[in-house]
Structure 1
Amino acid sequence: MVARRISPRLSDIIEASVNIDAVLDGVSMAAFERDWQKRWLIERGIEIISEASRHLPKEIKDRRPEIPWSKVAGIGNILRHDYQRIAPDVLWKLVRDDLPLLESVCREELAAALRRESEG
Protein backbone atom coordinates (compact mmCIF):
# COMPACT_ATOMS: atom_id res chain seq x y z
CA MET A 1 0.00 0.00 0.00
CA VAL A 2 1.33 3.45 -0.92
CA ALA A 3 1.47 5.96 1.92
CA ARG A 4 -0.89 8.87 1.48
CA ARG A 5 0.80 12.22 1.07
CA ILE A 6 -0.11 14.53 3.90
CA SER A 7 1.82 17.57 2.74
CA PRO A 8 -1.11 19.03 0.73
CA ARG A 9 -3.38 18.99 3.79
CA LEU A 10 -0.73 20.53 6.03
CA SER A 11 -0.08 23.15 3.35
CA ASP A 12 -3.80 23.96 3.23
CA ILE A 13 -3.85 24.56 6.98
CA ILE A 14 -0.75 26.77 6.81
CA GLU A 15 -2.05 28.75 3.83
CA ALA A 16 -5.41 29.35 5.50
CA SER A 17 -3.63 30.48 8.68
CA VAL A 18 -1.43 32.89 6.74
CA ASN A 19 -4.48 34.27 4.91
CA ILE A 20 -6.34 34.74 8.19
CA ASP A 21 -3.35 36.62 9.60
CA ALA A 22 -3.28 38.84 6.50
CA VAL A 23 -6.99 39.65 6.77
CA LEU A 24 -6.62 40.61 10.44
CA ASP A 25 -3.35 42.52 10.15
CA GLY A 26 -3.81 45.81 11.98
CA VAL A 27 -7.49 45.12 12.75
CA SER A 28 -8.83 45.61 16.26
CA MET A 29 -11.41 43.30 17.76
CA ALA A 30 -13.97 46.11 17.69
CA ALA A 31 -13.34 46.66 13.97
CA PHE A 32 -13.53 42.92 13.35
CA GLU A 33 -16.88 42.70 15.14
CA ARG A 34 -18.27 45.46 12.89
CA ASP A 35 -16.93 44.03 9.62
CA TRP A 36 -19.10 41.16 8.36
CA GLN A 37 -16.84 40.66 5.34
CA LYS A 38 -13.77 40.01 7.47
CA ARG A 39 -15.78 37.65 9.68
CA TRP A 40 -16.93 35.68 6.62
CA LEU A 41 -13.37 35.43 5.31
CA ILE A 42 -12.14 34.22 8.69
CA GLU A 43 -14.97 31.70 8.90
CA ARG A 44 -14.03 30.32 5.48
CA GLY A 45 -10.38 30.02 6.51
CA ILE A 46 -11.37 28.17 9.65
CA GLU A 47 -13.61 25.84 7.62
CA ILE A 48 -10.65 24.99 5.38
CA ILE A 49 -8.44 24.34 8.40
CA SER A 50 -11.11 22.17 9.97
CA GLU A 51 -11.65 20.08 6.86
CA ALA A 52 -7.94 19.65 6.16
CA SER A 53 -7.34 18.56 9.76
CA ARG A 54 -9.84 15.73 9.32
CA HIS A 55 -7.56 14.18 6.69
CA LEU A 56 -4.41 14.17 8.79
CA PRO A 57 -3.34 10.74 9.97
CA LYS A 58 -3.80 9.58 13.54
CA GLU A 59 0.00 9.42 13.95
CA ILE A 60 0.30 13.21 13.66
CA LYS A 61 -2.58 13.78 16.04
CA ASP A 62 -1.12 11.35 18.56
CA ARG A 63 2.33 12.92 18.22
CA ARG A 64 0.95 16.45 18.74
CA PRO A 65 -1.49 16.22 21.66
CA GLU A 66 -1.09 19.93 22.43
CA ILE A 67 -3.53 20.55 19.57
CA PRO A 68 -7.18 19.82 20.39
CA TRP A 69 -7.73 18.00 17.09
CA SER A 70 -11.34 17.07 17.76
CA LYS A 71 -12.16 20.73 18.41
CA VAL A 72 -10.30 21.79 15.26
CA ALA A 73 -12.42 19.35 13.25
CA GLY A 74 -15.61 20.20 15.14
CA ILE A 75 -15.51 23.96 14.63
CA GLY A 76 -16.04 23.38 10.92
CA ASN A 77 -19.30 21.60 11.62
CA ILE A 78 -20.47 24.45 13.80
CA LEU A 79 -19.58 27.02 11.12
CA ARG A 80 -21.38 25.01 8.45
CA HIS A 81 -24.47 23.92 10.35
CA ASP A 82 -24.89 26.15 13.39
CA TYR A 83 -23.24 29.32 12.14
CA GLN A 84 -25.56 31.69 13.98
CA ARG A 85 -24.03 30.50 17.27
CA ILE A 86 -20.54 31.77 16.46
CA ALA A 87 -19.92 35.12 18.10
CA PRO A 88 -17.22 37.39 16.65
CA ASP A 89 -15.30 37.37 19.94
CA VAL A 90 -15.10 33.55 19.80
CA LEU A 91 -13.61 33.72 16.30
CA TRP A 92 -11.24 36.44 17.45
CA LYS A 93 -9.97 34.38 20.38
CA LEU A 94 -9.59 31.31 18.21
CA VAL A 95 -7.48 33.02 15.55
CA ARG A 96 -5.45 35.13 17.99
CA ASP A 97 -4.83 32.56 20.73
CA ASP A 98 -5.13 29.11 19.17
CA LEU A 99 -4.24 29.41 15.51
CA PRO A 100 -0.55 30.37 15.94
CA LEU A 101 0.24 27.10 17.72
CA LEU A 102 -1.65 25.06 15.13
CA GLU A 103 0.21 26.79 12.32
CA SER A 104 3.57 26.21 14.02
CA VAL A 105 2.85 22.51 14.55
CA CYS A 106 1.72 22.13 10.94
CA ARG A 107 4.87 23.84 9.67
CA GLU A 108 7.01 21.39 11.67
CA GLU A 109 5.00 18.42 10.48
CA LEU A 110 5.11 19.66 6.88
CA ALA A 111 8.89 19.93 6.95
CA ALA A 112 9.12 16.35 8.27
CA ALA A 113 6.56 15.07 5.74
CA LEU A 114 8.39 16.70 2.82
CA ARG A 115 11.63 15.06 3.94
CA ARG A 116 9.93 11.66 4.13
CA GLU A 117 8.17 12.15 0.79
CA SER A 118 11.42 13.10 -0.95
CA GLU A 119 13.17 10.03 0.46
CA GLY A 120 10.42 7.64 -0.55
Structure 2
Amino acid sequence: MSRDALVLADYLGHIGTAIERILRYTEGLDQLAFLNNEMAQDAVIRNFEIIGEASKNVGRYFPDFAAAHSDVDFSSAYEMRNVLAHGYHQVEPEIVWKTVVEILPAFYRQIQTLLASLDEGNTAPR
Protein backbone atom coordinates (compact mmCIF):
# COMPACT_ATOMS: atom_id res chain seq x y z
CA MET A 1 0.00 0.00 0.00
CA SER A 2 1.35 3.44 -0.92
CA ARG A 3 2.03 6.12 1.66
CA ASP A 4 -1.07 8.02 0.51
CA ALA A 5 -3.19 4.90 0.84
CA LEU A 6 -1.83 4.38 4.35
CA VAL A 7 -2.70 7.94 5.37
CA LEU A 8 -6.17 7.61 3.86
CA ALA A 9 -6.63 4.28 5.64
CA ASP A 10 -5.63 5.98 8.90
CA TYR A 11 -8.31 8.66 8.47
CA LEU A 12 -10.93 6.07 7.59
CA GLY A 13 -9.75 3.94 10.51
CA HIS A 14 -10.14 6.88 12.90
CA ILE A 15 -13.71 7.31 11.66
CA GLY A 16 -14.41 3.60 12.10
CA THR A 17 -12.94 3.47 15.59
CA ALA A 18 -14.93 6.52 16.69
CA ILE A 19 -18.13 4.98 15.36
CA GLU A 20 -17.38 1.72 17.18
CA ARG A 21 -16.91 3.67 20.41
CA ILE A 22 -20.20 5.49 19.95
CA LEU A 23 -22.01 2.22 19.33
CA ARG A 24 -20.37 0.70 22.41
CA TYR A 25 -21.18 3.72 24.59
CA THR A 26 -24.83 3.65 23.55
CA GLU A 27 -25.32 -0.11 23.60
CA GLY A 28 -28.30 -0.99 25.76
CA LEU A 29 -29.50 2.61 25.95
CA ASP A 30 -32.78 3.88 24.63
CA GLN A 31 -33.37 7.54 23.84
CA LEU A 32 -34.58 8.42 27.33
CA ALA A 33 -31.59 6.74 28.99
CA PHE A 34 -29.23 8.56 26.61
CA LEU A 35 -30.91 11.91 27.29
CA ASN A 36 -30.50 11.34 31.03
CA ASN A 37 -26.85 10.27 30.80
CA GLU A 38 -24.54 13.28 30.46
CA MET A 39 -21.44 11.11 30.41
CA ALA A 40 -22.74 9.08 27.46
CA GLN A 41 -23.70 12.29 25.66
CA ASP A 42 -20.24 13.79 26.20
CA ALA A 43 -18.51 10.61 25.03
CA VAL A 44 -20.68 10.36 21.93
CA ILE A 45 -20.25 14.04 21.06
CA ARG A 46 -16.46 13.78 21.42
CA ASN A 47 -16.37 10.86 19.02
CA PHE A 48 -18.61 12.68 16.53
CA GLU A 49 -16.01 15.46 16.62
CA ILE A 50 -13.32 12.90 15.73
CA ILE A 51 -15.47 11.53 12.91
CA GLY A 52 -15.97 15.03 11.56
CA GLU A 53 -12.33 16.03 11.74
CA ALA A 54 -11.15 12.84 10.05
CA SER A 55 -13.88 13.27 7.42
CA LYS A 56 -12.63 16.80 6.74
CA ASN A 57 -9.13 15.41 6.25
CA VAL A 58 -10.37 12.86 3.73
CA GLY A 59 -12.00 15.65 1.72
CA ARG A 60 -9.06 18.03 2.10
CA TYR A 61 -6.17 15.69 1.35
CA PHE A 62 -7.96 13.19 -0.89
CA PRO A 63 -10.57 15.26 -2.77
CA ASP A 64 -10.67 12.93 -5.76
CA PHE A 65 -11.27 9.96 -3.48
CA ALA A 66 -14.08 11.80 -1.68
CA ALA A 67 -15.60 12.81 -5.02
CA ALA A 68 -15.35 9.25 -6.32
CA HIS A 69 -17.26 8.12 -3.23
CA SER A 70 -19.82 10.90 -3.11
CA ASP A 71 -22.35 8.50 -1.59
CA VAL A 72 -20.26 8.64 1.61
CA ASP A 73 -21.27 11.91 3.25
CA PHE A 74 -17.94 13.16 4.55
CA SER A 75 -19.07 16.80 4.33
CA SER A 76 -22.11 16.31 6.58
CA ALA A 77 -19.92 14.57 9.14
CA TYR A 78 -17.66 17.63 9.19
CA GLU A 79 -20.63 19.99 9.38
CA MET A 80 -21.94 18.08 12.39
CA ARG A 81 -18.51 18.33 14.01
CA ASN A 82 -18.59 22.10 13.56
CA VAL A 83 -22.02 22.38 15.15
CA LEU A 84 -20.94 20.23 18.09
CA ALA A 85 -17.61 22.00 18.61
CA HIS A 86 -18.59 25.59 17.94
CA GLY A 87 -22.28 25.54 18.76
CA TYR A 88 -21.73 23.51 21.94
CA HIS A 89 -24.17 25.73 23.84
CA GLN A 90 -27.06 24.78 21.58
CA VAL A 91 -26.46 21.07 20.94
CA GLU A 92 -29.70 19.13 20.94
CA PRO A 93 -29.11 15.68 22.45
CA GLU A 94 -32.24 14.39 20.68
CA ILE A 95 -30.63 15.10 17.31
CA VAL A 96 -27.39 13.47 18.43
CA TRP A 97 -29.37 10.37 19.46
CA LYS A 98 -31.30 10.33 16.19
CA THR A 99 -28.01 10.47 14.29
CA VAL A 100 -26.62 7.55 16.31
CA VAL A 101 -29.66 5.41 15.62
CA GLU A 102 -30.65 6.41 12.09
CA ILE A 103 -27.47 7.44 10.29
CA LEU A 104 -24.40 6.03 12.00
CA PRO A 105 -24.92 2.31 11.24
CA ALA A 106 -25.09 2.91 7.46
CA PHE A 107 -22.14 5.34 7.59
CA TYR A 108 -20.15 2.70 9.48
CA ARG A 109 -20.88 0.09 6.79
CA GLN A 110 -19.71 2.53 4.12
CA ILE A 111 -16.46 3.22 5.97
CA GLN A 112 -15.85 -0.51 6.49
CA THR A 113 -16.41 -1.12 2.77
CA LEU A 114 -13.93 1.63 1.85
CA LEU A 115 -11.33 0.25 4.26
CA ALA A 116 -11.75 -3.27 2.88
CA SER A 117 -11.43 -1.94 -0.64
CA LEU A 118 -8.19 -0.14 0.26
CA ASP A 119 -6.84 -3.31 1.85
CA GLU A 120 -7.60 -5.21 -1.34
CA GLY A 121 -6.03 -2.48 -3.45
CA ASN A 122 -9.27 -1.84 -5.33
CA THR A 123 -9.59 1.82 -4.41
CA ALA A 124 -6.58 4.00 -5.06
CA PRO A 125 -6.51 7.36 -3.30
CA ARG A 126 -6.12 10.42 -5.47
Q: TM-score range by the shorter chain?
A: 0.7 to 0.9
1:94 to 92, 99, 106: 99
SS at match of 2:29: coil
Map of 1:72 onto structure 2? 77
CA RMSD of aligned residues (A): 1.7
Q: Normalised by the size of structure 2, how large is the TM-score?
A: 0.84
Alpha-carbon distance, 1:114 to partner: 1.9
Give structure 1 stretches of 5+ with no counterpart.
none
Q: Secondary structure at the match of 2:15?
A: helix
| Offset of residue 3 of structure 1 | 5.1
Q: Secondary structure at the match of 2:67?
A: helix
- 1:16 paired with 2:21, answer no
Alpha-carbon displacement from aligned partner over 1:48-101 (angstroms, at most 9, x marks no partner): 100111121223322333333221111111111111221111000111111111
Partner residue of 2:32? Answer: 30
Structure-2 residue corresponding to 1:106: 111
User: Which structure is higher in RCO with an 8 Å CA cutoff and minimum separation 6?
Assistant: 1
Matched, 1:39 2:44: no
Asked if the contact 2:55–2:75 (Cα under 8 Å) also holds between the matched residues in 1, the reply is no
Pairwise mapping of residues 48-59 of structure 1 onto structure 2 (< 5 A)?
Answer: 48-56=50-58, 57-59=62-64
**Matched residue SS, 1:53:** helix
Following the alignment from structure 2 to structure 1, what is the Cα–Cα distance between the partners of residues 71 and 98? 17
In the alignment, the residues of structure 2 paired with residue 115 and residue 58 of structure 1 have an alpha-carbon distance, to the nearest angstrom, of: 21
Identity rate, percent: 23
What stretches of structure 2 of length at least 5 have no aligned partner? none
Instruction: Give me the TM-score of the superposition, normalised by structure 1.
Output: 0.87
Q: Distance in 2 between matches of 1:109 and 1:28?
A: 30
